[in-house]
Amino acid sequence: MADMVLLADTINDVDMLGIRINGLLTTTVMLVMVTLSTIAAWRRTKSVLAAGGALLGGLALWYAVMNASAFRDSVGETIKPGGVAPPVTEGRGPAVVRVEPVAGTAVEHGGEGL
Protein backbone atom coordinates (compact mmCIF):
# COMPACT_ATOMS: atom_id res chain seq x y z
CA MET A 1 0.00 0.00 0.00
CA ALA A 2 2.88 2.36 0.73
CA ASP A 3 4.16 1.82 -2.80
CA MET A 4 0.83 2.99 -4.25
CA VAL A 5 0.88 6.16 -2.16
CA LEU A 6 4.47 6.83 -3.19
CA LEU A 7 3.55 6.30 -6.85
CA ALA A 8 0.55 8.63 -6.56
CA ASP A 9 2.71 11.30 -4.90
CA THR A 10 5.34 10.95 -7.64
CA ILE A 11 2.71 11.31 -10.37
CA ASN A 12 1.29 14.36 -8.61
CA ASP A 13 4.77 15.93 -8.26
CA VAL A 14 5.54 15.35 -11.96
CA ASP A 15 2.16 16.83 -12.93
CA MET A 16 2.79 19.93 -10.81
CA LEU A 17 6.30 20.26 -12.27
CA GLY A 18 4.81 20.13 -15.78
CA ILE A 19 2.26 22.82 -14.89
CA ARG A 20 5.00 25.07 -13.50
CA ILE A 21 7.26 24.55 -16.54
CA ASN A 22 4.32 25.32 -18.84
CA GLY A 23 3.62 28.49 -16.86
CA LEU A 24 7.28 29.48 -17.04
CA LEU A 25 7.40 28.94 -20.80
CA THR A 26 4.15 30.76 -21.55
CA THR A 27 4.90 33.78 -19.38
CA THR A 28 8.58 34.44 -18.77
CA VAL A 29 10.10 32.93 -21.90
CA MET A 30 7.46 34.41 -24.22
CA LEU A 31 7.92 37.84 -22.61
CA VAL A 32 11.68 37.66 -23.13
CA MET A 33 11.24 36.50 -26.74
CA VAL A 34 8.80 39.31 -27.58
CA THR A 35 11.07 41.90 -25.96
CA LEU A 36 14.21 40.65 -27.69
CA SER A 37 12.54 40.44 -31.11
CA THR A 38 11.24 44.00 -30.74
CA ILE A 39 14.67 45.30 -29.73
CA ALA A 40 16.37 43.35 -32.55
CA ALA A 41 13.93 44.73 -35.14
CA TRP A 42 14.51 48.27 -33.92
CA ARG A 43 18.33 47.89 -33.88
CA ARG A 44 18.38 46.35 -37.35
CA THR A 45 16.13 48.92 -39.02
CA LYS A 46 16.16 51.92 -36.64
CA SER A 47 12.45 52.15 -37.40
CA VAL A 48 9.75 52.56 -34.80
CA LEU A 49 7.24 51.14 -37.31
CA ALA A 50 9.26 47.93 -37.76
CA ALA A 51 9.70 47.58 -34.00
CA GLY A 52 5.97 48.13 -33.50
CA GLY A 53 5.22 45.47 -36.12
CA ALA A 54 7.56 43.03 -34.36
CA LEU A 55 5.89 43.85 -31.05
CA LEU A 56 2.38 43.31 -32.45
CA GLY A 57 3.44 40.06 -34.15
CA GLY A 58 5.03 38.81 -30.94
CA LEU A 59 1.96 39.73 -28.90
CA ALA A 60 -0.31 37.98 -31.40
CA LEU A 61 1.85 34.85 -31.16
CA TRP A 62 1.81 35.08 -27.36
CA TYR A 63 -1.99 35.38 -27.40
CA ALA A 64 -2.24 32.30 -29.64
CA VAL A 65 0.04 30.33 -27.30
CA MET A 66 -1.91 31.35 -24.20
CA ASN A 67 -5.25 30.42 -25.83
CA ALA A 68 -4.14 27.33 -27.76
CA SER A 69 -6.79 25.12 -26.21
CA ALA A 70 -9.57 27.54 -27.21
CA PHE A 71 -8.27 27.63 -30.80
CA ARG A 72 -8.01 23.84 -30.84
CA ASP A 73 -11.59 23.45 -29.67
CA SER A 74 -12.96 26.07 -32.08
CA VAL A 75 -11.31 24.39 -35.07
CA GLY A 76 -12.94 21.10 -34.08
CA GLU A 77 -16.34 22.80 -33.98
CA THR A 78 -15.88 24.76 -37.22
CA ILE A 79 -14.43 22.08 -39.49
CA LYS A 80 -16.60 19.00 -39.70
CA PRO A 81 -15.20 15.73 -41.05
CA GLY A 82 -16.53 14.89 -44.49
CA GLY A 83 -16.88 18.50 -45.63
CA VAL A 84 -20.01 20.58 -46.00
CA ALA A 85 -20.58 20.13 -49.74
CA PRO A 86 -24.15 19.24 -50.69
CA PRO A 87 -24.70 15.59 -51.55
CA VAL A 88 -24.85 14.58 -55.21
CA THR A 89 -28.45 14.29 -56.36
CA GLU A 90 -29.93 12.30 -59.26
CA GLY A 91 -28.90 13.43 -62.71
CA ARG A 92 -25.65 14.93 -61.53
CA GLY A 93 -22.79 12.61 -62.25
CA PRO A 94 -19.29 12.79 -63.64
CA ALA A 95 -18.92 14.98 -66.71
CA VAL A 96 -17.70 13.62 -70.05
CA VAL A 97 -15.26 15.82 -71.95
CA ARG A 98 -14.37 15.24 -75.57
CA VAL A 99 -10.91 16.37 -76.68
CA GLU A 100 -10.28 16.99 -80.37
CA PRO A 101 -6.76 16.35 -81.68
CA VAL A 102 -4.69 19.45 -82.39
CA ALA A 103 -3.32 19.80 -85.94
CA GLY A 104 0.34 18.86 -86.24
CA THR A 105 0.52 16.64 -83.14
CA ALA A 106 1.32 12.96 -82.90
CA VAL A 107 -2.31 12.13 -82.09
CA GLU A 108 -3.44 13.35 -85.53
CA HIS A 109 -0.87 11.11 -87.21
CA GLY A 110 -1.90 7.93 -85.40
CA GLY A 111 0.19 8.43 -82.24
CA GLU A 112 -1.04 7.70 -78.79
CA GLY A 113 -2.55 10.47 -76.68
CA LEU A 114 -3.72 10.80 -73.13
pLDDT value of residue 97: 66
93 or 25: which leads in pLDDT: 25
Q: What is the CA radius of gyration of the chain?
A: 30
Question: With contact defined as beta carbons under 8 Å apart, do 37 and 50 qualify?
Answer: no
pLDDT value of residue 3: 77
**pLDDT of 37 higher than 90:** yes
Interval 39-88: pLDDT, tens: 999 999 999 999 999 999 999 998 988 888 777 766 655 555 565 555 55
Give the per-residue SS3 of 62-100: HHHHHCHHHHHHHHHHHCCCCCCCCCCCCCCCCCCCCCC
φ, ψ at 89 (rounded to 5°): -100, 175
Q: By three-state DSSP, how is residue 109 classified?
A: coil
From residue 57, alpha-carbon distances to 13, 22, 32, 85 in Å are: 35, 21, 14, 35
What share of the chain in percent tops pLDDT 90?
35
pLDDT value of residue 93: 58
pTM of the full structure: 0.51
Q: By three-state DSSP, how is residue 101 classified?
A: coil
**pLDDT of 110 higher than 70:** no
Instruction: Check the CA dihedral 5-7-11-17 and report its sign.
Output: positive
pLDDT value of residue 45: 94
- Say which range, 31-35, 46-50, 81-85, 99-103, has the weakest mean pLDDT: 81-85
